[in-house]
Amino acid sequence: MTARARALRASGVDVITLSQGEPDFATPAAICEAGIRAIQDGHTKYTPVAGIAPLREAIRQKFRRDHGLDYGLDQITVGCGAKQVVFNAFFASLDAGDEVIVPTPCWVSYPDMVKLAGGNPVLVPCDEAQGFKLRPDSLEQAITPRTKWLLLNSPANPTGAVYGRDELAALAAVIRRYPRIHVLSDDIYEKLIYDAVFSTIAEAAPDLLDRTLTVNGVSKSDAMTGWRVGYGAGPRPLIQAINLIQSQTSSHTSSVSQHAALAAISGDQSHLAAFVAAFRQRRDLVVGRLNEADGLRCSMPEGAFYAFVSCAGLIGRKTPAGAVIATDTDFAMYLLEEVGVAVVPGSGFLASPYIRVSFAAAPEMLASAMDRITAACKALS
């Protein structure tokens, strides 16, 4: 959708893109300056595969400070974004036919990464009535003798759902009965949270620390998507295997980016309050307007910067040109082609009929997009 929107914009069409998965803020100046200093100081050579020691020490302190989790430096690895860390973990640990439990809706890359690593994603639907979150009984039913991983993402893309500490403890009670199962906790949106208290599963269930890989990064919290720095902390054998995989692919992420990430993690965090306040204001605007639109329904996301919107009320209606809106993809394409708003169909996240609307855009742009979506819904018959 983003690519199609870009092509339309290049041809002169006025398109508002709400399909992006990145903050629209600039990287904070102090972080940029750290990157510039790294270049000036000659930090432009190869680094250790796992990342420079000062960065891993900063990550170590971050886990201790924020979650009371203690890791050795050899239990921490840095990759080219959290995405690479997740992929490396699967590639390093999955044998052919091993299963990974993936609650859905989910980020589009999870199932394919499992498949690329030779595993089988076991998709567990988590509907809106349960807050788009995995329940212990659903987890229990999904476990088989081939289950190797449970994948959790909180705050979640695309729904903004946040698991509370008690909810994580309840899931941990199930996992505890199956010693062979590990947990991958993707916490990349950790700092972008509004109406909840963040917890990660290793914090909620410390006895599972040696079976948990906690993944995070600076992309979302520090507006550093293009810098490509993510990290993971977990059991030594797994981290060693991840480093082995990475040594044969990217070697390491950019040395300059690592020094910038060091500043982001260990330096001034005051920009976060401004980011969260802005996102909260935008969230309230978008969700309020979407719930006023004919045929749409949207629950309030507790974190991240996405609204996951049901368009079930529009399925079966016709566009002014007579085309039937049969799927969420049809509705997303209708919004793009007819009113110039790019969103992502929920089918891409294995949940239909929904659309994902990013509110990582300027308020005036969001207000204009909501006007267009409201008008587009009203025009359907």
pLDDT (tens, 9 = 90+) of the chain, 381 residues, equals 777 888 888 888 899 999 988 999 999 999 999 999 999 999 999 999 999 999 999 999 999 999 999 999 999 999 999 999 999 999 999 999 999 999 999 999 999 999 999 999 999 999 999 999 999 999 999 999 999 999 999 999 999 999 999 999 999 999 999 999 999 999 999 999 998 999 999 999 999 999 999 999 999 999 999 999 999 999 999 999 999 999 999 999 999 999 999 999 999 999 999 999 999 999 999 999 999 999 999 999 999 999 999 999 999 999 999 999 999 999 999 999 999 999 999 999 999 999 999 999 999 999 999 999 999 999 999
Contact 201, 211 (CB under 8 A): no
Domain spanning 44-266, CATH class = alpha beta
Class of CATH domain 2-21+271-376: alpha beta
What is the residue extent of each domain of the chain?
2-21+271-376, 44-266
Measured CA to CA, the distance from residue 303 to residue 71 in angstroms comes to 27
The DSSP 8-state label assigned to residue 265 in this structure reads H
Residue type present at position 362: A
Whether 2-21+271-376 and 44-266 share one fold: the answer is: no
Angle at which helix 255-266 crosses helix 53-67, to 10 degrees, equals 30
C-alpha torsion angle, residues 203, 205, 206, 207 (rounded to 10) = -170
What are the tokens at 102?
A: 């993936």
Structure tokens at 368: 């204009």
> Distance between CA 20 and CA 15 in Å, rounded?
13
pTM of the entire structure? 0.95
